[in-house]
Amino acid sequence: DWLLGNEAWQKRVQDAIDAGRTDIPNTSGLEEIFEEISPIEDFSGQMSLSFREHRFEEPKYTEAQCREKDLTYSQPLFVTAEFTNNETGEIKSQTVFMGDFPLMTDKGTFIVNGTERVVVSQLVRSPGVYFEKTSGKALDKDIFSAKIIPSRGSWLEFEIDKKDIVNVKIDRKRKQPVTVLLKALGMTSEEIQERFGQYESMQLTMEKDAIGTQDEAFVDIYRKLRPGEPASIEAGRNLLENFYFNPKRYDLAKVGRYKVNKKLGTHEEPSKTVLTTEDIVRTVEYLVRLHAGEPTMPDSDVRVEVDDI
């Protein structure tokens, strides 16, 4: 009901509003998807396309007819499309057919080309931030790592290696000292020293890091991620922005935001489904405190421990 935004869901929303409750979202699943992809702009930014209200029409065929005629049981989806000239402000609106939306039967099945099918769910790791400790006979000491996993977008991975250097992998590419990323996010060497200076792993990392400024960090990150391409400050800034801070390319989803907040002790709104600088800084802080054997995060009762995964 929530995904489709049908009358049953709308009634529950209205009942919740009348009762003063806020536990039911007032935006349907399809509306969230359309808001996420809108507006779609051309390369010059002069024209944009947005999707607004949607509606479903009645199914063309019944379940029995679909089984008999080898058809898919579905209903047509129509959406209001708005084409906007951003220079003149002119808007042209039209209702367009988006496709046939499969319908579930009362038995929880779908009829596809006349055949009744059941959707089998796949177990995947939920979006969020995870911390691990790896040990084994081949290793003479434990390796601590962290991963920020989105619902959609690039992973961000951290690791404290056998030499106690804190490294980061952006989009699963070559690793580099985590202090390079922190500088690209706007922290100075002095601020990094002030926040992490008491940890030996971060001291060793800062000694290895030859990057001095934020601009140098942008260039270094771009060279690591796009080897062979001309590197520039602006290119590095845009690359990092699009990887983790652009809602069109990165999405933690609400469950991911909830888990990040709970794990790190942050208090971002559920609607904030991109990363923040503080998310990344506290992930690094959590990891180095885990490596140092400290039990909790500073200024909170959030326990520092590995995840059972």
Which sequence spans correspond to the domains of the chain?
7-117, 128-292
Q: Please report where in the chains the tokens 């129509």 appear, as a residue.
A: 78
* Encoded tokens for 87: 């220079």
Q: What is the pLDDT of residue 234?
A: 93
* Encoded tokens for 15: 């009942």
Q: What is the pLDDT of residue 1?
A: 62
Nearest by Cα to 211 from 225, 192, 238, 228: 192
Give domain 128-292's CATH architecture. Alpha-Beta Complex (3.90)
Q: To which H or E segment does residue 101 belong? A: strand 91-102
For residues 250 and 263, give the distance between their C-alpha atoms in angstroms, rounded to a whole number. 20
Q: What is the pLDDT of residue 138?
A: 61
* Encoded tokens for 140: 């003479």
Percent of the chain with pLDDT over 90: 49
Q: What is the pLDDT of residue 137?
A: 57
Q: Please report where in the chains the tokens 């001309």 appear, as a residue.
A: 230
Q: What is the pLDDT of residue 264?
A: 92
Q: What is the pLDDT of residue 228?
A: 86
Q: What is the pLDDT of residue 89?
A: 85
Q: What is the pLDDT of residue 7?
A: 73
For residues 289 and 52, give the distance between their C-alpha atoms in angstroms, rounded to a whole number. 47
CB 17 within 8 A of CB 7: no
The tens digit of pLDDT for each residue in 193-225 reads: 999 989 999 999 999 988 889 999 999 999 999
Q: What is the pLDDT of residue 3?
A: 66
Q: What is the pLDDT of residue 23?
A: 67
Q: Is 272 exposed, middle or buried (0-12, 13-18, 19+ CB in 10 A)?
A: middle
Q: What is the pLDDT of residue 156?
A: 95
For residues 94 and 125, give the distance between their C-alpha atoms in angstroms, rounded to a whole number. 40
Q: Compute the C-alpha angle 39/45/49, nearest 5°.
A: 30
Q: What is the pLDDT of residue 149?
A: 94
240: which residues sit within 8 A by CB, 6+ positions away? 170, 184, 218, 221
Q: What does each C-alpha distance from 198 to 119, 133, 146, 195, 300 come to in angstroms?
A: 52, 21, 20, 8, 18
The pTM for the full model equals 0.72
Q: What is the pLDDT of residue 70?
A: 93
Nearest by Cα to 277 from 185, 152, 211: 185
Q: What is the pLDDT of residue 206?
A: 92
241: which residues sit within 8 A by CB, 6+ positions away? none
CB 170 within 8 A of CB 225: yes
Low pLDDT (below 70) residues in the chain: 1-6, 22-25, 136-139, 309
